[in-house]
């Protein structure tokens, strides 16, 4: 983990690609609370459930003045398909550049599964306050009930 990964630290402001080919940085949300949820891969069971759970709660996040941004290393085209297939209403971004936000935060890391070693995203969620400071971090997230827990923390912030 890096110096930026902890509660009370400023969230790094690194540009990422949006599904429409544009660019988004966390400073684009300045003055608003923001939830950034990092997930491994579009259209996999856990990641789909997580994105759909955040989508279902988006009206409550909006009412609390909290923006939502899902981030993976998937391409903009894969994000477009993911959004269309599951009718997602949360913003997504691609963090595919080496040295990007997930690298800086230390959540793009070596993983092991079934005796195989590979690089992968650790499912992690950050709640960022309106001035860009990390208010809360959920590491190695379990999907069931996670969006609701994040909503409660965001409403209390």
Catalytic sites, residue numbers: 47
| CB half-sphere exposure, 55, CA atoms < 13 A | 16
User: Cα(19)–Cα(41) distance, rounded to whole angstroms?
Assistant: 14
- 132, 34 in Cβ contact below 8 A? no
Any long-range contacts for 93-96 (C-beta under 8 Å, 24+ apart)? 93/16, 93/17, 93/18, 93/24, 93/69, 94/16, 94/17, 94/18, 94/19, 95/14, 95/16, 95/38, 95/71, 96/17
Q: Which residues pair with 136 in a beta bridge?
A: 127
Minimal CA–CA distance to 105: which of 28, 41, 26, 21?
Answer: 26
């Amino acid at each position: 983990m890096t110096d930026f990964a902890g509660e009370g630290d400023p969230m790094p402001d690194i540009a990422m690609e949006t599904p429409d080919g544009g660019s988004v940085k966390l400073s684009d949300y300045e003055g608003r609370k923001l939830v950034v949820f990092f997930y491994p891969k579009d259209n996999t069971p856990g990641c789909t459930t997580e994105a759909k759970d955040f989508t279902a709660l988006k009206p409550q996040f909006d009412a609390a003045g909290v923006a939502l941004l899902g981030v993976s290393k998937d391409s903009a085209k894969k994000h477009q398909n993911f959004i269309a297939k599951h009718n997602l209403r949360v913003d997504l971004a691609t963090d595919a550049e080496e040295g990007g936000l997930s690298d800086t935060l230390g959540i793009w890391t070596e993983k092991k599964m079934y005796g195989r070693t590979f690089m992968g995203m650790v499912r992690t969620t950050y709640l960022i306050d309106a001035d860009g400071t990390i208010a809360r971090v959920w590491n190695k997230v379990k999907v069931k009930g996670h969006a609701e827990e994040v909503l409660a923390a965001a409403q209390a912030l």
